[in-house]
Amino acid sequence: MLYKIEEQAEIFEKLEPVEFKDFSSFGKLEKDLENLIANSILDVLFEDARLMPVFQERQWQAEADIYALNESGELVIFELKRASAGKDAVHQALRYAQDAGQWSYQKLENKFKEYSKGDMSLVEAHREAFSLEHQLEPKEFNNKQHLLVIGSAADDSLICKRSI
């Protein structure tokens, strides 16, 4: 449950429940949610664990919605649902992680170049995105994968209390 805090003269006066709405209630598509998150994960979301998007799903392809890298070069795989996310979404994300865990640096870089429509290498773009003094070596990328399923929790067992 989300709450709005009402404050007067720097004193918290009251908590007011905020109506829950999932993304589908706004009449938007899952692709709209995907673009919103991909455009926000480096600078807005996950402020203590920034992420650099490297690829987004292509229509009619068996791919996760967003692939991103953290500062350590670990791959973060997003599966998004604009409404409820059940156990099927978790199974889907696991299949994507199984596939992505086998990607070489070269395959990841090719996906990044396709996504960014540029020629900058992945190691250089990563160094720049995270303001690193030294770039990571290609062998340091994609050694670990993390999964994030974003949607309304239809099942309390899907709610994770851990951070990235």
pLDDT in tens, the chain (164 residues): 567 788 777 777 778 877 766 666 777 667 777 677 766 665 555 566 788 889 987 677 778 888 999 999 999 998 887 666 667 778 888 999 999 999 999 999 999 999 899 899 999 999 999 999 999 999 999 999 998 887 766 445 545 545 44
Ramachandran angles phi, psi of 81, nearest 5°? -130, 130
Q: Which of 142, 133, 81 is nearest to 111 (CA)?
A: 142
CA–CA separation, 150 and 106 (whole Å): 28
Question: Quick one: how far is CA 142 from the chain centroid?
Answer: 15
Residue pointed to by tokens 């993304």: 23
Q: For the chain, count helices (H), then strands (E).
A: 4, 6
Strand pairing class (75-85; 52-56): unpaired
CA–CA separation, 120 and 8 (whole Å): 51
Please list, in sequence order, all residues whose beta carbon lies within 8 angstroms of the beta carbon of residue 68, skipping any fewer than 6 positions away: 38, 41, 51, 52, 53, 54, 75, 76, 78
pTM of this prediction?
Answer: 0.70
Residue 160's pLDDT is what?
Answer: 53
Strand pairing class (75-85; 2-8): unpaired
Residue 109's pLDDT is what?
Answer: 96
Residue 112's pLDDT is what?
Answer: 95
Contact between 130 and 71 under an 8 Å Cβ cutoff? The reply is: yes
Residue 164's pLDDT is what?
Answer: 47
Residue 73's pLDDT is what?
Answer: 96
Residue 163's pLDDT is what?
Answer: 47
